[in-house]
Amino acid sequence: MSADRLLAAVERYYSGKVVEHGPTPQGADWRDEASQELRFRQLLKVWADDAPLSLLDYGCGYGALVSYLERMGADFSYCGFDISEPMLAQARAAHAGRANVEFVGRDEELSSVDYTVASGIFNVKFETAEDAWIEYVLATLERIDGLSARGFAFNLLTAYSDAEKMRPDLYYGDPGFFFDHCKRRFSRHVALLHDYGLWEFTVVVRREPSA
């Protein structure tokens, strides 16, 4: 499957979810709000929270992370990027009037930020061969790295999931492979989080150690 066809399939899948379920965790293909916010907590460990947060949410869905940051009382500026127009429509409607928040749907609209997070964007591979999907994931990480001045974080379903529960249309990554790739390619300061109770892991990449 070509990159364009792959992204078109992903766009149709997530647009269908948000049309069916609305701006809810299920609309972003998550089980519930508790697991969604648990993921947010892991991803935001990339942020040295003694400073204002400049954040790109790469694959932002309906913008649930904005509400989470507001509940935290964070000082932040936020750009949400998504390829699904129905997702972006929901996000803009939910967060209209916020001067510190914007949502975009084209890669060329993105500019550098301090940090980028990407939650769930590498999970649904459809019938794409695993080697082709890994190539896509690594290329996307290169793009994210180029946009992130201080660091980034992303998550993946884990290859350590129970075999009988694994689905052929989903991608389950090898945590050691992605830790090693990020360590060698992006930074000496990489953390692998695989201890928070979901069948997934989070990789945190920092430009320098947090104080």
What does the alpha-carbon distance between residue 61 and residue 93 come to, in Å, rounded to a whole number?
A: 12
What does the alpha-carbon distance between residue 71 and residue 65 come to, in Å, rounded to a whole number?
A: 10
Residue 211: pLDDT band (50, 70, 90) is very low
Mean predicted lDDT score pLDDT of the chain: 91
Q: How far is CA 201 from the centre of its chain?
A: 12
Q: Which residue has the tokens 């648990």?
A: 38
Q: Which residue has the tokens 């309906």?
A: 62
DSSP state at residue 199: S
Largest CA distance in the chain: 47
In this prediction, residues 123-131 reach a mean pLDDT of 92
Write the pLDDT tens digit of every residue in 105-123: 999 999 999 999 999 999 9
pTM (2 decimals)? 0.91
Predicted pLDDT of residue 33: 83
What residues does each domain of the chain span? 3-206
Write the pLDDT tens digit of every residue in 45-99: 999 777 789 999 999 998 999 999 999 999 999 999 999 999 899 999 999 999 9
Nearest Cα to Cα of residue 148 among 175, 173, 118, 127: 118
Write the pLDDT tens digit of every residue in 179-201: 999 999 999 999 999 999 999 99
Residue 1: pLDDT band (50, 70, 90) is low
DSSP state at residue 26: G
The two structure tokens encoding residue 78 = 């936020």
Predicted pLDDT of residue 30: 67
The DSSP result for 169-202, as a single string, is TB-EE-HHHHHHHHHHHT-SEEEEE--SSSSEEE
Range list of β-strands (E), 105-199: 113-118, 148-158, 172-173, 189-193
Domain 3-206: which topology?
Rossmann fold (3.40.50)
Residue 2: pLDDT band (50, 70, 90) is low
Beta pairing partners, 172: 157
In this prediction, residues 119-142 reach a mean pLDDT of 94
In this prediction, residues 16-20 reach a mean pLDDT of 81
In this prediction, residues 143-170 reach a mean pLDDT of 96
In this prediction, residues 149-159 reach a mean pLDDT of 97
The two structure tokens encoding residue 209 = 């150690």
